[in-house]
Amino acid sequence: MWASFFRKKSIDKIISDQLDLEKLEGYSMVRNLGVRDLTFMGVAAIIGASIFSAIGQASANGGPAVSMLFVFTALACMFTAFCYARFAATVPISGSAYTYAYTSLGEIVAWILGWNLLLEYAISNVAVAISWSKYFVDLLEGLGIHVPEFLTMDYLSAKRAFVAAQEAFQQGLTLSDLTINVREGFLAYTSAPVILGWHFVANMPALLITIAITYLVYIGIRETKNMNNVLVVLKLAVIAIVIGVGAFYVQVENWTPFAPNGISGVLKSVAAVCFAYIGFDSISTTAEECKNPQRDIPKAMMWALIICTVLYVLVTLVLTGIVPSDQLAGIEDPLAFMFMKVNLPGVAGVVAASAVIALTSALLVYQLGQPRIWMTMSRDGLLPKAFSRIHPKYRTPSFSTIMTGVLVGVPALFANLEEVINLSSIGTLFAFVLVCGGVLILDLDPENQKKSKFKIPYLNAGYWVGICLLIALYLSFPNLDAAFSWFSGIFTGESKADHVIMGGFFLIWATLSVFSVRNKLSLIPVLGLLVNLYLMTQMGAMNWERFLYWCLAGILIYFGYSYRKSKLHI
């Protein structure tokens, strides 16, 4: 019985099933995406909420050194991108990491991964919609149009701000003494209509933009592509202005100290930085709409990562060079704030307007990816047939697109930005870990290596993985007292959960060291797996707990519905 849970779908079977589907009336999609279109989709997804919102708090936590965290995370994504490219060139189907796991790790792992991709895409889009709303409301305010505060934020933020304001008032402070975020939240909570004892605070602009984007994705890939290309060009032009103009106002002394809060401060921003990069895998979800997916998807992934990493590093250095990092805490629009600091309100206005454009394009690509993963899961029988329905006129997964809009729009009304970023990041890194692990398993069969049109440069991991583990252990535990203190923390202390998580990481690393020698594993997928897994360990015990609960819910659904309906078991 247990073996049936891990049954795999052969590459040949997946491709033959896809060819059969494309021959059927009403099941094929339109192939009109090239390398440029795919690269722009990757840029649209990566340059989104993080560069206009989360980069401020990340810089406050880690200082200018966060720029190096972007490089480190991009390196992890680059290792992962090689693995994605390897799969995309072998299995050119729209299921992204879900399909890749099905061919290498088995059905139940593929289901759990697909379930986490739901978390990644839906919650990421919630975060982007919330950021879009903030910038859009600020833009309207600049034009003299005021939107009531209770229609522009989530209930939790407003409630927290109300409590904080009440405490401040008891200490003798006035409304004008409060920070802008607390002041806006207090006004939202107190001015909101009360329904059955509950203050109605909801982020209406986030809902409306989700509806508009869902409609655009629904009516066709060509329309989506053209709109995205225009938005990305505008976005890149404005970011070039931000870097070019801001460079003249950089004060080099603001980069000292480079990491004011130490390595712990830098790693505190892991969730926000990882969130910046999660969109690169959305490129692979459009495989059935690419002209030549086996050639174009690998190229587009690499180009998107390189372009976006350079931009993130430059923007972070300019931002922290103009504004001392300790002044960026709690700033939701850091780039506009940066130019206000140097008395350039005109440029700040351009940044605010461009943020609306940039976040629209990110929302567009995320909203495009999720329905195509659901469509593939439905074809395998793991979701109801309605999710694989293709619209007869628009040639898009119609029902899946509508459901994605619902699952993004409704939470966007009430969700808190920080919470959704953290939960989305850990789910994404989990997908990256499985994709890298899937390549290692797939390549154990020499026949699979022959079928791929993209080859990952092979470097024998051999003893290098074990040597690096010994170095890491020595740096972590330079003496017996440090080792004993750390191991005792597994059983005592408030951070014992974090110690268990890190202990599990070292155990997996040790296991990979053995397999690297025994099976001559490829170094790049091994590095991708270890780096992504390490980033997961930095997410904190609370996020791990929520992540495990989410996975448990997915397993219950699998055994309650998907296992019985799976085409592999019928």
- What are residue 195's phi and psi, to 5 degrees? -120, 115
- Residue 526: its pLDDT value, please? 92
- What does each C-alpha distance from 53 to 44, 192, 234, 475 come to in angstroms? 15, 26, 18, 34
Instruction: Count, in order, helices (H) and strands (E) of the chain.
Output: 26, 2
Pick from 109-113, 170-174, 505-509, 564-568: least confident: 564-568
- Residue 450: its pLDDT value, please? 67
Confidence of residue 95 (pLDDT cuts 50, 70, 90): low
5 or 317, which is more confident? 317
- Residue 3: its pLDDT value, please? 53
Share of the chain above pLDDT 90, in %: 3
Taking the C-alpha atoms of residue 481 and residue 486, their distance in angstroms, rounded to an integer, is: 9
Average pLDDT for 390-395: 80
Average pLDDT for 52-69: 79
331 or 535, which is more confident? 535
410 token code pair: 């409704």
- Tell me the three-class secondary structure of 492-530, residue by residue: CCCCHHHHHHHHHHHHHHHHHHHHHHHHCCEHHHHHHHH
> pLDDT at residue 26 above 60?
no
Taking the C-alpha atoms of residue 66 and residue 315, their distance in angstroms, rounded to an integer, is: 11
- What are residue 113's phi and psi, to 5 degrees? -65, -45
Average pLDDT for 377-382: 84
State pTM to two decimals.
Answer: 0.80
Question: Which has the closest alpha carbon to 250: 327, 324, 310, 313?
Answer: 324
> pLDDT at residue 501 above 80?
yes
> pLDDT at residue 81 above 70?
yes
CB within 8 Å of 502: residues ≥ 6 apart: 537
Average pLDDT for 508-533: 90
- What does each C-alpha distance from 287 to 280, 375, 473 come to in angstroms? 13, 13, 42
Show the domains of the chain with their CATH numbers: 25-143+205-446 (1.20.1740.10), 155-201 (no CATH), 448-565 (no CATH)
- Across 39-53, 192-206, 436-450, 477-491, which has the greatest mean pLDDT? 192-206
> pLDDT at residue 23 above 60?
no
pLDDT in tens, 233-286: 888 888 888 888 888 888 888 888 888 878 777 777 776 676 667 677 778 777
247 token code pair: 């460079």
Q: Which helix (H) or strand (E) holds 195?
A: strand 194-195
- Residue 511: its pLDDT value, please? 92
- What are residue 397's phi and psi, to 5 degrees? -70, 90
